[in-house]
Structure 1
Amino acid sequence: MPFLIETFDKPDRQALRLEVRPPHLAYLDANANLLLACGAKLSDDGATASGGIYLVDLESREEAERFIQADPFHQAKLFAEVHIVRWRQAYLNRQNTL
């Protein structure tokens, strides 16, 4: 059952984001089997990240909460907010999956 996790960085935390990025990417690699899609939300010029979107294939909200809480970005207290919602996949890779 897919969940969408949207994160919002605290203001002025770009240096922390860059510092913690390598262990964050290692965490994502270690959990790639759970990721339907994942990536940073960027400023219009693409220079600055301000949070992220994770589409994860997990069985429950509790599993989604545990997943994001184990992310090094979360553990470094980068996020001001985290939103978790169930998601219904309708299209993936430009294909209808319903």
Structure 2
Amino acid sequence: MPYMIETFDKPGHHDLRLQSRDVHLAYLDAHAHLLIACGAKLVDDGESATGGLYLLDVESRDEAQNFIEADPFHQAELFERVDICRWRKAYVDGKNLL
């Protein structure tokens, strides 16, 4: 069952995001089988990230929580807030899945 995880970076922590980025991407690569999609939320300049969005295929909220807590961004204390909720696949890649 899919879960959506939305993260919100602490203000002024852009350098920490950049310092942790490579190990974060390696973590995502190692767990790609769980990812429906994920990516950074960007400000209008298209350069600076303010957090992220993960669509994750796991069986429980606990698994989603464990996934994000093991993320190097989380372990580096980049996030000010993390929201987790169940997500319904309605349209994916232009296809109606309802």
| Residues 2-81 of structure 1: pairs in structure 2 closer than 5 A | 2-81=2-81
Identical positions, percent: 64
State the superposition RMSD in angstroms.
0.4
Structure 2 length normalisation: TM-score? 0.99
- Number of equivalent positions: 98
1:54 counterpart letter in structure 2: Y
Unaligned ranges ≥5, structure 2: none
Unaligned ranges ≥5, structure 1: none
- 2:83 maps to 83
Post-superposition Cα deviations, 1:6-29, rounded to whole Å, max 9, x if no partner, equal 000000000000000000000000
Alpha-carbon distance in structure 1 between the residues aligned to 2:66 and 2:18:
23
Q: Which runs of 4+ in 1 moved over 6 A?
A: none
Q: Secondary structure at the match of 1:11?
A: coil
1:79 counterpart letter in structure 2: F
Alpha-carbon distance in structure 2 between the residues aligned to 1:47 and 1:87:
27
Post-superposition Cα deviations, 1:34-88, rounded to whole Å, max 9, x if no partner, equal 0000000000110100000000000000000000000000000000000000000
